[in-house]
């Protein structure tokens, strides 16, 4: 395991929460066993209004009220420069930090958990300063065990908490796959609607940072294929801020795939009311008439670069930021393709059985008589993610997108 953003820091011992040991044991047994009887027992409604909520430990009461982040926090520094204004200029990672801080301050049931998210602030420092501000009870360093992280988050959600679990790197999510697809995604249906799983899973994903094996993958299609999960990916600091806040408040499980190579891309971030629609609506980035280029997460920047390059030669490209991978906003895509007659879908994940394949099939069905060319896809190749030395030959850059657009225009 690597920590490219800084030297390793020993994880401090995690304090035992102020709850009875038998309650903890019962929760863990019911959650990790995954038995319907245990789950339904935990999720049984109290007075007909939903799952019972355990009283929070006293150390959580009022956490964050009037507290200040660490003086060295990049986020705090940016806010200080802005004089506490509602709109500040932040990197994408800083915007996520701000969103987490706002949700932790606003709801004592929100918890952040994961490997090194506390004292270290995460390997990318996305959670920097949160433990100092809200305490180790609410920003918890966990053991190196992804299945345990997600299993614990499931149990917490069944007891009324809103856990935000970080998987440190994309390639580390696979040990937790069973907990996510067999428990988290299915408990709402399994309980007849009585159990709500308000769990947010943050996963830094994608390539472009020169990392070693298991640190640059794009596994979003595996989870988009699973009914019961919302899967989103921000491409801008504002969307990152809005998505995290909407995900934390969503009653459904939400996986937020964060483009790690874009953590340092800066933009204006406005603190504004939470908009749940961001978890299921696409965004028109650039209007055009000749072709639609649809992308999400880390692929949006090269898509925009390709559109600018094409404009020099007179090709007017429309760019759509999908934002959500499940559900996909097909209405926005369909309206765009009806105007342009052509569609190129871009993502870092392999094109083989990727999100672009489903988009191509659906748009072909819905826009068949208006399409001027087949839907084309640009993405990673069907092979394991390559070594860092050649990763940029694997990633879909602007040049490959331009070639695909020009191919679509030949029809």
Are 379 and 349 spatial neighbours (Cβ–Cβ below 8 Å)?
yes
From the candidates 89, 188, 215, 225, which is the catalytic residue? 215
Taking the C-alpha atoms of residue 139 and residue 131, their distance in angstroms, rounded to an integer, is 5
Q: From the centroid of its chain, how far is CA 269? A: 17
What angle, 0 to 180 degrees and rounded to 10, lies between the N-to-C axes of helices 92-106 and 237-249? 30
Structure tokens at 281: 């609506």
Decide: 78 and 88 in contact? Cβ < 8 Å. Answer: yes
Rg (CA), the chain: 22
Q: Are 15 and 136 in contact (CB under 8 A)?
A: yes
Nearest Cα residue to 399 out of 316, 317, 310, 300: 310
Beta bridge partners of 344: 293, 376
215 is catalytic: yes
Query: Which has the closest alpha carbon to 233: 199, 260, 197, 196?
Result: 260
Both tokens assigned to 201: 């899973």
Q: Give the catalytic positions in this structure.
A: 215
């Amino acid at each position: 395991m690597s920590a490219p953003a800084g030297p390793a820091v020993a994880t401090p011992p995690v304090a035992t929460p102020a709850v009875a040991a038998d309650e903890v044991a019962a929760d863990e047994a019911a959650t990790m066993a995954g038995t319907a009887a245990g789950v339904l027992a935990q999720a049984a409604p109290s007075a007909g209004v939903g799952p019972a909520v355990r009283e929070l430990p006293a150390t959580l009461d009022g956490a964050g009220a009037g507290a200040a982040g660490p003086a060295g926090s990049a986020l705090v520094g940016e806010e200080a420069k802005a004089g506490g204004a509602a709109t500040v200029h932040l990197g994408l990672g800083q915007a996520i930090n701000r969103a987490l801080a706002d949700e932790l301050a606003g709801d004592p049931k929100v918890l952040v958990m994961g490997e090194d998210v506390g004292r270290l602030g995460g390997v990318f420092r996305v959670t920097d300063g949160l433990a100092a501000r809200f305490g180790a009870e609410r920003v918890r360093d966990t053991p190196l065990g992804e299945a345990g992280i997600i299993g614990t988050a499931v149990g917490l959600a069944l007891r009324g908490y809103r856990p935000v679990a970080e998987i440190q790197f994309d390639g580390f999510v696979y040990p937790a796959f069973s907990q996510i697809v067999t428990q988290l995604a299915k408990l709402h249906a399994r309980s007849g609607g009585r159990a709500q799983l308000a769990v947010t899973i943050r996963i830094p994903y994608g390539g472009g940072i020169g990392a070693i094996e298991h640190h640059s993958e794009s596994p979003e299609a595996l989870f988009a294929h699973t009914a019961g999960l919302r899967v989103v990916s921000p491409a801008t600091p504002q969307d990152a801020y809005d998505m995290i806040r909407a995900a934390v408040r969503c009653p459904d499980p939400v996986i937020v795939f964060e483009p790690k190579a874009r953590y340092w891309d800066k933009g204006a971030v406005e603190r504004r009311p939470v908009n749940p629609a961001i978890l299921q609506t696409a965004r028109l980035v650039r209007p055009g008439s000749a072709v639609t280029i649809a992308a999400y997460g880390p692929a949006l920047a090269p898509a925009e670069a390709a559109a600018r390059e094409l404009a020099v030669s007179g090709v007017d490209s429309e760019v759509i930021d999908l934002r959500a991978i499940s559900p996909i906003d097909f209405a926005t895509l369909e309206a765009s393709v009806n105007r342009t007659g052509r569609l190129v879908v871009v993502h870092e994940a392999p094109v083989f059985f990727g999100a672009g394949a489903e988009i191509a099939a659906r748009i072909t069905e819905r826009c068949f008589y208006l399409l001027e060319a087949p839907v084309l896809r640009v993405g990673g190749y069907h092979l394991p993610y390559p070594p860092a030395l050649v990763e940029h030959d694997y990633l879909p850059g602007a040049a490959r997108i331009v070639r695909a657009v020009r191919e679509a225009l030949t029809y």
